[in-house]
A and B are shown apart, each in its own frame.
Chain A
Amino acid sequence: MKILVCISHVPDTTSKINFTENDSKFDSNGVQFVINPYDEFALTRAMWFKEKQGATITVVTVGNATTEPTLRKALAIGADEAIRVNAEAIDGFTVAKELAEVLKNGGFDLVLAGKESIDYNGGMVPGMLATLLDYNFVNACVGLEIEGDKASIQREIDGGKEILSANLPLIIAGQKGLVEEKDLRIPNMRGIMMARQKKLTVVEPSVNENATSSVSFEKPAAKSACKIVDNVDELISLLHNEAKVI
């Protein structure tokens, strides 16, 4: 089985978010970038397939050269090779089109992505990619088993789960449940050394227009201080009369 894992390179979850150039650009100064947490679940599931059922793993990102350490980290965790599409990821549709080009030549059976990037929170790329290629697609995936060319997939729905089945090729957008937190791996020294030898191919982009563009950013307005209340009667009265939420 040939698996492609789509990796988005995002600020670490503890990052302070700031903007520059009149609030038009994200300020990456001092920000640590990581594999998008949902993609880490996807990669970990791919590793499981590799170890238990035999599979090769390619990781791909659409991004400029600064994303390479993130790809190397994925290689250190155990992916076999990496592809970087040398373009700034601005719009989800464009990213999906770039990834579709990678897939057209790759012969992949399974594409694992995350349910959203935690920077722009798009939730766009996997569904768009699947539609561009007319592959089966499952969003918010919390469980995946493969047997031969058949997949059994669990999807989170509002207030429950749906079990689906499909033939490969398949694209899923995953989240926790695909694997558990404790299954996530920290690259070890050997992995890091090996990652240096692994193939990282840079391909040039093929799309040159964006369906959407980012204009500017805004930080939430400063909040008024928390009212500390002494007892539950006062709390109930405030929630009823002041906040009007009960």
Chain B
Amino acid sequence: MSVLVFAETSEGKFKKSAFEVTSYGKKVAEQLGTNVVVLAINANDAKLLHKYGAEKVLIVNNPSLKFNAKVVADIIKQAAEKESSTVIVVDSNANGLYVAPIAAVNLNAGYASNVLGLPSSTSPFTLKRKAFSSKASNFTQINTAIKVLSLSKNSFGLVENEVSGVVEEFSPAIVESNLTSVSIEQTSGKVTIADADIVVSGGRGLKGPENWGMVEELASVLGAATACSKPVSDLGWRPHSEHVGQTGKPVASNLYIAIGISGAIQHLAGINSSKVKVVINTDAEAPFFKAADYGIVGDAFEVVPKLVEKLKEFKANNA
């Protein structure tokens, strides 16, 4: 028995979520009285995972291997069989969510997505997960011998747990796939909503795309990603990839700052899992104030530039 974690890399470096799923996998393994094995593909420094409790790292070194969900899911299956894993954990990034259902079918396993924490019981194996776009949570029981789960981002956090582990080379067979990656367009240099600890988001209250300069400046001072409400992307003021909410991207950041966003139920559904929410809105009656932790009733065009200025001072003093 073992718990198998898939730790995702990007250009050789682990994503932050890789450390979170490793931390999580280690604790699940403890609950089950077993060990955690972490699988990583083309990672430069596999040893980094020991800090989060990885007793064993399986490393696939194959530079010609580009991400293909079917191929990666099959590698996960081979690793799970080799390590007799009964629980497989992936993250909730785009690739993790792509791979998990495929791996589940390959392993004839029940799959629970959007998992919010450690199993509340290991027999039956029961997990709390997000449901109804974070308007509620659901306890799901997995009935199969092998279980696949995807951990909701930032729901467990990084837990340091240094172990002296081993790194083992793993050379799985590579399955054929006639789904070909033609190209990748990366929005360069920007923090993505999926990776961000802080997200700064603008709504229709900002009046037009020409006013996003201050939003971007605020995001850059905070090292944050930028986001927007649905009408803002529908109007073409901002790209679709920034649309957050029930029908957009979910946000599970540590801090979410909403500027000129009313706080409609569909918007809140997507950002509820953020830990701390701040609202800046002229209308004290805007529903967002009911969902937020901190609020400023005021005009964004006055508040945001001031906030940028003061944050710059704050950053300079606290550097």
Contacts and interface: CB of A to CB of B under 8 A. Distances in A.
A13 B266 contact: yes
A160 B130 contact: no
Contact of A217 (B109, B111, B133, B139): B139
A123 B255 contact: no
A226 interface: yes
A110 interface: no
B296 A229 contact: yes
Contact of A123 (B97, B187, B197, B243): B97
Contacts, number: 256
B303 A232 contact: yes
Contacts of B140: 212-215
A114 to B, nearest CB: 10
Given A182-B234, A214-B138, A229-B296, A158 B195 contact: yes
A123 B296 CA distance: 36
A163 B183 CA distance: 5
B92 to A, nearest CB: 9
B194 A93 contact: no
Contacts of B246: 13, 37, 118
A109 B140 CA distance: 34
Interface stretch (B22-30, B41-49, B79-87, B173-181): B173-181
B241 interface: yes
Contacts of A156: 94, 241
B207 interface: no
Contacts of A167: 178
A132 B143 contact: no
A128 B104 contact: yes
Interface string B235-274: 0000011010011100000110000000001100100100
A136 interface: yes
A16 to B, nearest CB: 8
Contacts of A186: none
A148 interface: no
Interface stretch (A51-59, A62-70, A236-244): A236-244
Interface stretch (A42-50, A75-83, A138-146, A195-203): A138-146
The contact size tier of chain A is 35 or more
Nearest to B129: A121
A162 B138 CA distance: 33
B184 A120 contact: no
A156 to B, nearest CB: 6
Contact of A164 (B93, B179, B222): B179
A212 B110 contact: yes
B104 A93 contact: yes
B179 A138 contact: yes
A130 interface: yes
A132 B104 CA distance: 10
Contacts of A180: 234
Interface of B: 69-70, 73, 93-95, 97-98, 100-102, 104-106, 109-114, 126, 128-144, 150, 177-187, 190, 192, 194-195, 197-198, 222, 230, 234, 240-241, 243, 246-248, 254-255, 265-266, 269, 272, 275-276, 278-279, 284, 289-297, 303, 306-307, 310-311, 314, 318
27 contacts: A37-B246, A92-B111, A158-B94, A163-B182, A163-B184, A165-B179, A176-B240, A180-B234, A181-B230, A181-B234, A211-B110, A212-B111, A212-B143, A214-B141, A215-B138, A219-B135, A226-B293, A226-B295, A227-B295, A228-B295, A230-B296, A231-B306, A232-B303, A236-B307, A238-B294, A245-B197, A246-B222
Given A139-B94, A162-B185, 5 more contacts: A13-B269, A128-B111, A156-B241, A160-B186, A215-B140
